[in-house]
Amino acid sequence: MSTIVIDNLQTHFETPAGVIRAVDGVSFSVERGEILGLVGESGSGKSITGFSIIGLVDPPGRVAGGRILFQGEDLVGRSESEMRALRGKKIAMIFQDPMMTLNPVLSIETQMVEAVRAHDNVPKLEARRRAVEALGLVGIPSPDERLSAYPHQFSGGMRQRVAIAIALLHRPDLIIADEPTTALDVTIQSQILFEIQKVSRDFGMSLIWISHDLGVVAGLAHNIAVMYAGRIVEAGPVDTVLDHPVHPYTVGLLRSIPANLRRGEALEAIPGMAPSPLRRPSGCPFRLRCFAATATCETEPVDARIGEHSWRCFHPQNEARP
């Protein structure tokens, strides 16, 4: 059984200016022990997809449709207390900015012990022991001493490790990581990626890794899903999608990565800007920026697929391969 299956998820924000469809018909699934990279430019709905799963979409946002099957059971419409029992226990989340995810006035010990005791009624000492163990797991030296420190006494990389350690406390079945290494420098980033990959393999955890860095996703994930304007426009095994991108948006994304170029070759940015979520064009939302767009694109494209590789476009690029 898949750890999680998202089926036609709709998450909308009802604002005075109109309904914002931040997530507009997203479907994907993640198997046990598998890492899915969720990529796309800013505002494409990656974070909101993650928050929808864990049930933390801020009002006026709400899941307006679709199903979120976690271990076979639908989470949509669950009560707040049922969701709270899952959060941190079965599904954990890590955020982008490690400077902001820990409460500045509470010690690391307080913040870890409370996380243990939110789900397991264990004595403080036992909770503390688990906290020390989790800190050791993510490579924090002398965790026993560091436990009594406050967030400001840690560097950004160390804080992100603490956040990851908190996420690991209950060995959840799914971790949603929302750009957790974006704010860190490259060496720290690769250390953390290494640790994450290791624990995910060791514990058979599924991981949804949100990022706009295709390089990171290429090295880490098994599968990739490319989001644009609240939808998934292309998905499949990482190697297939990155080596043979089919959707013009994915092609554009890959061409705009400096590492993919030879010296002297000009970078190609995708022209134009992401459409305002209130005024998305009819049909394919990418058509106004697309080099391959034709009149056909004014109608809604449907999913096409070869094997595990799927895309939503009338004009597949390259030669699509399974």
User: Helix 156-168 crosses helix 108-117 at what angle (to 10 degrees)?
Assistant: 20
The answer, yes or no, to whether the previous bond of 258 is cis (omega within 30 of 0) is: no
Question: Residue 126 and residue 169: Cα distance in Å, rounded?
Answer: 12
- The pairing of strands 174-178 and 4-15 is unpaired
Per-residue x/- track, 9-48, Mg ion (CB under 5 A): --------------------------------------x-
Q: Both tokens of residue 158?
A: 């160390």
**Nearer to other proteins among residue 7 and residue 97 (C-beta):** 97
What, of other proteins, Mg ion, ligand ATP, none, does residue 44 touch, CB below 5 to 8 Å by kind? ligand ATP
User: Of other proteins, ligand ATP, Mg ion, none, which one does residue 85 interact with (CB within 5 to 8 Å by kind)?
Assistant: other proteins
Task: Give CA–CA dist 26/4, Å, rounded.
Answer: 13
Query: Going by C-beta distance under 8 Å and a sequence separation of 6 or more, which residues neighbour residue 275?
Result: 229, 281, 285, 288
Q: CB 90 → other proteins: shortest distance, Å?
A: 9
Q: Which is nearer to Mg ion, 47 or 200 (CB)?
A: 47
Question: Which of 3, 39, 45, 109 is in the footprint of ligand ATP by CB under 6 A?
Answer: 45
- Cα–Cα distance for residue pair 181/190, rounded to 1 Å: 9
Q: How are strands ordered across the β-sheet holding 223-228?
A: 91-94, 174-178, 206-211, 35-39, 223-228, 231-237, 309-311, 304-306
Binding mask 7-36 for ligand ATP (x = CB under 6 A): ------x-x----x-x--------------
**Is 44 near ligand ATP (CB under 6 A)?**
yes
**Dihedral (C-alpha) 79, 85, 88, 93: value to the nearest 10 degrees?**
-10
CB contact at 8 A, 304 and 233? no
- Binding part of the chain for ligand ATP, among 39-47, 192-200, 217-225, 258-266 by CB under 6 A, reads 39-47
Partner in contact with 43, chosen from ligand ATP, other proteins, Mg ion, none, beta carbon below 5 to 8 Å by kind? ligand ATP
95 binds, among ligand ATP, other proteins, Mg ion, none (CB under 5 to 8 A by kind): other proteins
- Dig out the tokens for 74 from the structure: 């639908």
Q: Provide the binding-site residues for other proteins, judged by CB under 8 A.
A: 54, 56, 58, 84-89, 92-93, 95, 97, 100-107, 114-115, 118-119, 150, 152, 163, 166
| Beta carbon nearer to other proteins, 54 or 251 | 54
Interacting residues toward ligand ATP by CB under 6 A: 13, 15, 20, 22, 40, 42-48, 58, 61, 212, 277
